[in-house]
Structure 1
Amino acid sequence: MTTTALRTPGATAAPAPARPRRRRGRRQRPNWLAGILATIWLVLVAVPLYYLVTGSLRTRQDYLSTNPLVPPSDPTLENYRTVFEGGFLTYLLNTVVVTAATVAIVVALSVPAAYAVARNTGRLVQRGFSLMLVGLAIPAQAAIIPVYLMITQLRLYDTLLAIILPTAAFAMPVALLVMVSSLRDIPGELYEAQTLDGASPLRVLRHLVLPLARPAITTVAVLTSLTAWNGFLFPLVLTQSEETRVLTLGLWDFQGQFGTNVPGLLAAVTLSVIPIFVLYLIGRRYLLSGLTAGFGK
């Protein structure tokens, strides 16, 4: 049995609710200015790389007689063979050792230090952190004489440790800043849950901090690698022999050795760029999240 609503005499029917108007999807306008600027930036980056690679594949006669932006008519690897015969592998190995050791020292010290700063609000710890950040304003050139005196007193002159220790020391402020910003993003409830479960500070560091701080650790590793790989001042002042020479000084030596052989110098530069470029490609997905950690608060 169906029932119908009875209308009382003189009553007016309630107006039907108005249907919400559908908003027409606005078509986003293309940002032509951003596209033009991005294209210009791409050209500015790609052209030097193209010139670097194609120039290293030319002969000296081809380089001097043709347009450097035109692809080489007869590519050759002779320049790379000349570079390897000039001691490039020794310079590369020394640079890898310096970079790996510097990254290991910086990561091993910055992670527990940042954990202490992020979890301890004591005045002494926070003042120590502020004092550490003063190192951001001190350039290596201003401290090179005291560093040289300390290295000579420690009898580390003309060794790879003479490059590793100062490089790690000057990379620590940036690494500590990135790590502290990242660890402060971890919710306090997670720390409290670990503490209620009876976890020690070392266990919290291993099972909570290290997994969640992986982007920041990768960022610190990449930034420190770039600093150590491209370092020139400390190797120049604190080393002397060819056995301890790194790539930056090796390229300086190639510049004198290949004074008129520009393709040979370009081949040496190309080989020195490849390893650090590969490292950047591996860690670039973590760079943005690591550098912007803490800015949302």
Structure 2
Amino acid sequence: MRRRPNYLAGAGSLVWLVLVGLPLYVMLAATLRTRQAYAENGPVSLPDSFTLDNFTGAFDSGFGQYFFNTLVVTACVIGIVLLLVPPLAYAIVRSRGRATSAIFRLFLLGLAIPAQAVIVPMFYLISEAGLYDNLLGVILPRAAFCLPMSALILSGSMRDISPELYEAMAMDGASLRRMFFQLVMPLSRGGLSTIVVFSALQAWNGFLFPLVLTQSDFTKVVTLGLYNFQTAHGIDIPGLLGAVVLSMVPILLVYLFARRALVQGLMGVGGK
């Protein structure tokens, strides 16, 4: 039986493609044009000439320092999450005590507390600790806000590991430490990839903590560095979009390398 074409679905897909593709085209086309050509021809017109000055100009204006600072913050946040969350999730999954369950529920209350609600006491604590205008003062609170969601994701992934595998290793005389490193960690690659990408996104796109807890150009990150393209005389839109494209590259690379394990972790079958 011949199936009738679904014209409504095709039209909807075309509209979705235009809505998604047009902004991407405007962004990429603007990065390859001069500011004058962009102002004269408009954002949607085809570029008549190409230039890489917007990318080189971004680094000349100090964007390289902001890029490096963001890499440091992101790498440190991921490191803290990977150091603390796997043992925590392992204890949550393997423990049968009520105290552990109660502590885990209390820990998950962090998901209900927005950063905006604690930014004032956070500013006071960071200032009293002598970490104001220091990258460490951005890393620690960002990592703290990543822990509850990361623990929830990874504990769900570890629960997919069959109890028979634990019993088999226990019969072989394996200790809890050996089970953790030789069984749980290899079978939790999906969950680990998920929390790495989640933490990287949170750290790389973070705006509130760097805005409040840093001040000098030496500690700026990319989300704050984009303000440099706005002056009293207007906004350098091609330069701004060039910096935006540069800021997207690391996160896209993280996703490309971890996409398969990331999808498995989000589907809850990372340990299968």
Q: What root-mean-square deviation, in Å, do the aligned CA atoms of Structure 1 and Structure 2 show?
A: 2.0
Q: What's the CA shift for 1:285?
A: 1.7
2:182 corresponds, among 198, 204, 207, to 207
CA contact (8 A) 2:153 2:195 kept: yes
Q: Show the counterpart of 1:223.
A: 198
1:177 corresponds, among 137, 141, 152, to 152
CA contact (8 A) 1:158 1:240 kept: yes
CA contact (8 A) 2:229 2:240 kept: yes
Aligned residues: 270
Name the aligned partner's letter for residue 118 of structure 2. A
Task: Decide which moves more: 265-274 or 212-221.
Answer: 265-274
Q: What's the CA shift for 1:81?
A: 2.0
TM-score (norm 1): 0.85
Q: What's the CA shift for 1:259?
A: 2.9
Q: Show the counterpart of 1:111.
A: 86
Task: Decide which moves more: 45-54 or 200-209.
Answer: 45-54
CA separation of 1:262 and 1:135: change in aligned 2, threshold 3 A: same
Q: Give distance in 1, aligned partners of 2:179 and 2:188.
A: 12
Q: Deviations 1:160-179 (Å, cap 9, x if unpaired)?
A: 11110000000111101100
TM-score (norm 2): 0.93
CA contact (8 A) 1:103 1:225 kept: yes
CA contact (8 A) 1:184 1:294 kept: no
Larger Rg: 1
2:20 corresponds, among 45, 48, 66, to 45
- Confirm whether residue 120 of structure 1 aligns to residue 74 of structure 2: no
1:150 corresponds, among 125, 130, 133, to 125
CA contact (8 A) 1:258 1:265 kept: no
2:213 corresponds, among 220, 238, 247, to 238
CA contact (8 A) 1:117 1:126 kept: yes
Structure that is richer in helix per residue: 2
Name the aligned partner's letter for residue 231 of structure 1. G
Name the aligned partner's letter for residue 279 of structure 1. V
- Confirm whether residue 251 of structure 1 aligns to residue 222 of structure 2: no
1:86 corresponds, among 58, 61, 68, to 61
* SS, match of residue 157 in structure 1: coil
Q: Give distance in 2, aligned partners of 1:98 and 1:277.
A: 17
Q: Give distance in 2, aligned partners of 1:37 and 1:204.
A: 50
